[in-house]
Amino acid sequence: MEHSVEKDLQVLFRRCAAYDRFAIGQIVEDMAGSLGLSGHRWHGKIVLLKPNLISAGGPGFSCTHGECIAGIASWFIDHGARVVLGDSPALGSGKKVLEKHGIFQPLSGMDIRFVEFTTPVEKKLACGVNVNIAREALECDLFVGLPKIKAHNQMYVTMALKNIFGVVKGVNKAMLHMVHGGTHDHFANIILDLQEFLPDQLHFADGIEVMHESGPLDGNSLFLGCLGGARSPVALDTAFLDLLELEAERCPLWRVARDRSMSGSAIDDIRFPALHPRDFHGSGFIAPSSLDAVRFSLWKFLRGMLKRVRLKVGERDSKHG
pLDDT tens by residue, 249-284: 999 999 999 999 999 999 999 999 999 999 999 999
Q: Is 103 left (phi over 0), alpha (psi -120 to 50) or beta?
A: alpha
User: Mean per-residue pLDDT for 235-244?
Assistant: 98
What pLDDT sits at residue 197?
96
Q: What is the CATH number of the domain that holds 46?
A: 3.40.50.11440
Report the chain's terminal Cα–Cα distance, integer Å: 46
What pLDDT sits at residue 8?
83
Q: How far apart are CA 106 and CA 100, in angstroms?
A: 13
Residue 262 backbone dihedrals phi, psi, to 5 degrees:
-75, 140
pLDDT band at 89 (very low <50, low <70, confident <90, very high): confident
What pLDDT sits at residue 302?
54
- Is residue 164 a part of any domain in this protein? yes
- Is residue 116 a part of any domain in this protein? yes
- Is residue 210 a part of any domain in this protein? yes
Residue 153 backbone dihedrals phi, psi, to 5 degrees:
-70, -20
pLDDT tens by residue, 147-204: 999 999 999 999 999 999 999 986 788 888 778 778 999 999 999 999 999 999 999 9
User: Mean per-residue pLDDT for 135-158?
Assistant: 97
Q: Is the pTM of this model over 0.85?
A: yes
Q: Which residues contact 116 (CB under 8 A, 6 or more apart)?
A: 86, 88, 93, 94, 95, 136
- Is residue 1 a part of any domain in this protein? no
Are residues 230 and 203 in contact, defined by beta-carbon separation less than 8 angstroms?
Answer: yes
Are residues 93 and 143 in contact, defined by beta-carbon separation less than 8 angstroms?
Answer: no
User: Mean per-residue pLDDT for 52-76?
Assistant: 96
pLDDT, averaged across the chain: 91
Single out the residue of 229, 259, 178 nearest to residue 35, CA to CA.
Answer: 229
Q: How many domains does the chain have?
A: 1
Single out the residue of 218, 207, 206, 155 nearest to residue 185, CA to CA.
Answer: 155
- Is residue 226 a part of any domain in this protein? yes
**Cross-strand partners of 210:** 222
Q: Is the predicted pLDDT of residue 321 greater than 70, yes or no?
A: no
Q: Is the predicted pLDDT of residue 313 greater than 50, yes or no?
A: no
Print the domain residue range for 206: 8-320
Residues of the chain with pLDDT > 90, as a percent, come to 79
Residue burial 128-139, b: 16+ Cβ < 10 Å; e: rest: ebebbbbebbbe
For residue 61, give Cα distances in angstroms to 100, 107, 277: 12, 17, 23
- Is residue 2 a part of any domain in this protein? no
- Is residue 105 a part of any domain in this protein? yes
What pLDDT sits at residue 300?
59
What pLDDT sits at residue 77?
97
Q: How many CA atoms are closer than 13 Å to the CA of 49, on its beta-carbon side?
A: 30
Q: 3-class SS at 171?
A: helix
- Is residue 34 a part of any domain in this protein? yes
